[in-house]
Copies of this chain bind each other. A is one copy, B any other.
Amino acid sequence: MDHCVYTDLALEAHSFFREGRRPSLPGVEEENRREDGCAVTRIRIVSQEAAQRLGKAQGCYVTLEAEDLSQEGREGQERVSSLLARELRALMPPPSRTAPVLVIGLGNRSITPDALGPMTVDGVMVSRHILSVMPEGVDARVRSLCALAPGVLGVTGLETAEVIRGVMDRVKPACVVAVDALASRNTHRIGNTFQLTDTGIRPGAGVGNRRMELNRKTLGAPVLALGVPTVVYAMTIVRDAMLAMDRAHDAPSGKSEEEMDQVVSHILPPPLNSLVVTPKDVDQMVRRAAAVLSLGINLWAHDGLSVEEIQDFMH
């Protein structure tokens, strides 16, 4: 991965490589459409070489870009959740009723921009504990869902993957849905863009600098990963600004990466990777994105339940 593509979104990594002189990357297929007020992009990375160039695993990435969720009412947000559920279903249909889905909310509950995962888990309509004891007493559309927020290494002293694998040994889920806060390159995507992928979680940019890989290989079950950018790294926009200024010049400076990094560290003294760009009302933004995600997961899993039925259940 080029050093300066500091993003968890396949969409942005691909767009970065095509920008300027670069043509569309071989080994990458991209489709675009609009639906329900969102730009829907489906990117398929099919060659190992393309995967390496983009710094993303081979597989399918779907991105839903809403305009500005903070301006949408409740209905607009529910529309995004429904679209999310449909796209999740296209990536992976929910398993049969007897096989549980384990939703994992990654991140640190007490660091707001990193709390997306745990907050999403709070909104998941879990059912496994009821279905396992009295399946006949539960509406036939309800599937087996369970959820866990394993915490982060610095707070628990436990590798997240250890906790998840330990729980999976007991629960034997048919698949895992992992939710995490992402880092993006573009501030207008913060809180407004939803990425769905069947490739799992990969150590990358992220908000929490997680170092584990969570995928079918490491966990032994298919892993859907869902994420929303909640930050842009401050470093990213500083670099972008310098590049933009350089390009705007008649004669580019020809500065090396090292020289540019020196300028960056003057403007942003270390620790660089703890400085992020967010909207001031980061609390509300994360709460809103988590609500869209959990409703989307609920609609996907409990196939056929309406938004109203789910909300009545969760109230």
Contact = CB atoms under 8 A, between A and B. Distances in A.
A207 B249 contact: no
Give how many copies assemble into the complex.
Answer: 4
Contacts of A147: 155-158
A contacts with B: majority SS: helix
Contacts of A274: 279-281
B151 A151 contact: no
A307 B122 CA distance: 26
Contacts of A207: 280
Chain A contact-residue range equals 35 or more
Contacts of A42: none
Nearest to A281: B111
Interface stretch (A11-19, A79-87, A193-201, A231-239): A231-239
A154 B259 CA distance: 45
Contact of A170 (B157, B165, B277): B165
A311 B162 contact: no
A122 B246 CA distance: 47
Interface in A143-170: 144-151, 153-159, 162-163, 165-170
Given A165-B170, A275-B277, A276-B278, A73 B158 contact: no
Contacts of A242: 241-242, 244-245
Interface of A: 70, 72-75, 77, 100, 110-114, 121-122, 126-129, 144-151, 153-159, 162-163, 165-171, 187-188, 207, 231, 234, 237-242, 244-246, 248-251, 253, 255, 259, 263-264, 266-269, 274-284, 288, 308, 311-312, 315
